[in-house]
Amino acid sequence: MITINSFLHREVLKDIIRRWMYDEARPSDADLITRLVHFNHVFVSRYLDLFAERIFREFHPEGLSSRPVQIKGDLKDALVKDPPYRNERIDELIRDYHRNPGRFYRETPFHGTLYFTRRNGFPAYVGSSRIKRVRRLAEKSARRIIDRIFDQIKRHADTLADERARLQGIPRERLLTAPDDMTEEFLIAEKRLLNDLLEKRPIAGDEEILAINDVAGVKAVLEASEQRSLVEMIGGFPDCEVVEEEKHVGGYNATNLIIRFRPPREEILSRSLGLGVLNVMQRRGVSPREANLSFAEFVRSGEEDVLLEIIFSDYQQMLESEIGCCIHEDRIIAQRLCQQYRGLLSRNIQYLLEYLFAFPASHQRELGELPIKIWNRYLPDYFDEILKELFRIPPDNFLE
């Protein structure tokens, strides 16, 4: 099941996700999931700041500044403000952006930090760091699980087709299957898997690891002469290791690194928790002193290393990814549209994961029976009402 490798206590979180899929929530999960989500958010924010600043200072020792941002438009504005060089394509992209900035998903929520060096006496954008938002994390976790379950359903359906071929005494590849029969076999296989979940029988692949490595991420603008230096530099850090390198070629050319990083725990714990997380914990009956002690224990008892992502490309390719032919938000939409399996089970897994990651942000302190069982049938309207109740939003008929 899902392992979020940028988090601490990821085995505990993986177990909660697995249990909730089988409708095996425990009352203690209310406190546990709250700490896992909120404490990990603080932990990831702090180690990502330390890591990103170290990387950018290595390339820009002459001066580095940063500022937090909440929407993607701030990043896109910074990217186009002072190009390090120009050519016909760069001028075209920047012109298109200024002509109609609303076409470029400027209002996309973005929990991140922008980094700047000094160029000609003015701040010049060199990269960013970001933490994947809870909703995107829930969506990506659900998609990974759905893809794996879809594979299991297809295998069950293939087994049924194999049996029909055997009964007809012909090889499987010569079996002619009408579209209605294919649909029927798929639905039978889906129903079988739903019954396995309902009866709490382990489903095939339940123990396989589905990893998410990019909750914490850095994007750096580096020209070709600097790019290999980054890989070598990270390899030389005593607390870092490059575990994966992948090159993207096409509409957008870039290199993606997965880094194993051992965050400095005591440095991270040298600051008390901020007011935001303290207020959340206080709503749940945890005093500021107890919250800080609990956070320290959470960090010290967690795994020693985490995985994070670095993506680097030259300036023109970074423009292509934000306002050009391969806009990041367009790729997200394409991923959603290209999901192969969109049936009952798919929707319910997505609802369940969104509920799991939304619960810690709500005022609800106790966890009773889970409102979503992935073998039941629900309309989207039902999930809308669940979220309204979770966040104390009045229902549509509250004036009646």
Separation between Cα atoms, residue 127 and residue 311, nearest integer Å:
10
* pLDDT computed for residue 61 by the predictor: 87
* pLDDT computed for residue 170 by the predictor: 73
Separation between Cα atoms, residue 360 and residue 368, nearest integer Å:
14
Separation between Cα atoms, residue 257 and residue 247, nearest integer Å:
9
CA 352 to chain centre: 16
| Range from 117-131, 144-158, 291-305, 317-331 that averages highest in pLDDT | 291-305
| Statement: residue 63 has pLDDT above 90 | no
Q: Please report which confidence band the pLDDT of residue 201 belongs to, taking 50, 70 and 90 as the band edges.
A: confident
* pLDDT computed for residue 271 by the predictor: 95
Q: What is the mean pLDDT of residues 143-165?
A: 75
pTM, to two decimals? 0.89
299 domain residue, yes or no: yes
* pLDDT computed for residue 149 by the predictor: 78
* pLDDT computed for residue 398 by the predictor: 54
354 domain residue, yes or no: no
pLDDT in tens, 327-382: 989 888 887 777 666 777 888 988 999 999 999 999 889 999 999 999 999 998 99
Q: Which residue has the higher pLDDT, 243 or 347?
A: 243
345 domain residue, yes or no: no
Domain count across the chain: 1
* pLDDT computed for residue 155 by the predictor: 73
Q: Which strand ranges, in their side-by-side order, compose the sheet holding 240-248?
A: 65-71, 109-119, 122-131, 216-221, 306-313, 254-261, 240-248
* pLDDT computed for residue 164 by the predictor: 67
* pLDDT computed for residue 267 by the predictor: 97
| Statement: residue 150 has pLDDT above 70 | yes
* pLDDT computed for residue 195 by the predictor: 82
Q: What are phi and psi of 107, to 5 degrees?
A: -85, 5
| Statement: residue 186 has pLDDT above 80 | no
Which of 28-37, 140-149, 274-283, 337-346 bottoms out in mean pLDDT, i.e. has the lowest? Answer: 337-346
pLDDT in tens, 12-31: 999 999 999 999 999 999 99
With contact defined as beta carbons under 8 Å apart, do 269 and 299 qualify?
A: yes
What residue spans of the chain are helical by DSSP H? Answer: 10-21, 29-59, 72-81, 88-99, 134-168, 179-198, 224-236, 265-268, 275-283, 288-300, 315-323, 328-337, 344-358, 380-390
Tokens 């306002």 belong to 323
Q: Please report which confidence band the pLDDT of residue 173 belongs to, taking 50, 70 and 90 as the band edges.
A: low
Q: What is the mean pLDDT of residues 171-183?
A: 63
369 domain residue, yes or no: no
Separation between Cα atoms, residue 296 and residue 283, nearest integer Å:
20
Mean model confidence pLDDT for the chain: 89
Separation between Cα atoms, residue 351 and residue 373, nearest integer Å:
10
Tokens of 342: 């969109």
361 domain residue, yes or no: no
Q: Please report which confidence band the pLDDT of residue 175 belongs to, taking 50, 70 and 90 as the band edges.
A: low
328 domain residue, yes or no: yes
Of 202, 200, 165, nearest to 181 by C-alpha is 165
Q: Please report which confidence band the pLDDT of residue 59 belongs to, taking 50, 70 and 90 as the band edges.
A: very high
The parent domain of residue 96 ranges over: 2-132+214-337
Q: Please report which confidence band the pLDDT of residue 206 belongs to, taking 50, 70 and 90 as the band edges.
A: low
Q: Give the whole-number percent of the chain exceeding pLDDT 70.
A: 92
| Statement: residue 181 has pLDDT above 80 | no
200: left (phi > 0), else alpha (psi -120 to 50), else beta? left
151 domain residue, yes or no: no
Q: What is the mean pLDDT of residues 122-137?
A: 92
Q: Which residue has the higher pLDDT, 119 or 40?
A: 40
191 domain residue, yes or no: no
